[in-house]
Amino acid sequence: SQKIEQNSEALNIQEGKTATLTCNYTNYSPAYLQWYRQDPGRGPVFLLLIRENEKEKRKERLKVTFDTTLKQSLFHITASQPADSATYLCALGPGTASKLTFGTGTRLQVTL
Amino acid sequence: DTGVSQNPRHKITKRGQNVTFRCDPISEHNRLYWYRQTLGQGPEFLTYFQNEAQLEKSRLLSDRFSAERPKGSFSTLEIQRTEQGDSAMYLCASSHTNRDSGANVLTFGAGSRLTVL
């Protein structure tokens, strides 16, 4: 069956450092992969997407890589700030108008 | 347009009662999704609509769950004979196709939290 795995343990890092979150998947051939941010009690908010034929995407302090051979995406936040503390979800989609399947999310805590 | 709106935000009910949640999507979005999320887990797909047509429904969804989108605008999710295991956050999202990538980008509402006693 399809499986999307994110590190269930919280990631604690110091302000100013780079946070790296991992998303691994099995039994899936996604057309694209997306990252969302979720704050407590709120719905997820879209951050970035990367297509299967792209290796890397950047947006301000965010960078996403996508390795379809390893079936893995890495999500980096550089110069992290306490305001970046949240749960980050990866999501995979097989095509244009279909559902997204989400991972379990990784909670990031950035401390001063 | 203020985004995706969900009501009520919180619902506490007794086991066996019926509950209904409403979702008002972004007006330009023709696709609408319902997800369920429990603590520490990612959103779990329930069903989705393109305009008024329900195109997919999760096999995990029991007969007690029904969703409608009568005119291709707002949607309702009804849970009949609620059970304690139905306690969760019910998230609605609407989507458009990203022009650059052709990908389906979701805009979520704040969710409706259900507690079944």
Three-state secondary structure along A25-43? EECCCCCEEEEEEECCCCC
The pair of structure tokens assigned to A61 is: 């302090």
Q: Is B32 on the interface with A (CB under 8 A)?
A: no
Say what the pLDDT of residue B96 is: 76
Interval A18-50: pLDDT, tens: 999 999 999 888 888 999 999 999 999 999 999
Say what the pLDDT of residue A96 is: 60
Paired sense of beta strands A86-93 and A32-38, if any: antiparallel
A contacts of B107 (beta carbons < 8 Å): 46
Contacts of B19 (CB under 8 A, 6+ apart): B11, B13, B78, B79, B82, B114
User: Is B104 in contact with A98 (Cβ distance < 8 A)?
Assistant: yes
CA distance A84 to A111: 10
Q: Is B40 on the interface with A (CB under 8 A)?
A: yes
Q: Is B109 on the interface with A (CB under 8 A)?
A: yes
d(CA A10, nearest CA chain B) in Å: 11
B contacts of A45 (beta carbons < 8 Å): 108
C-beta of residue B82 within 8 angstroms of C-beta of residue B15: yes
Q: What b/e sequence results for B8-33 when a residue is b if at least 16 CB atoms lie within 10 Å of its CB, and e otherwise?
A: eeebebeeeeebebebbbbeebbbbb
Q: What percent of chain A has pLDDT over 70?
A: 97
Q: Which residues pair with A15 in a beta bridge?
A: none
Q: What percent of chain B has pLDDT over 90?
A: 74
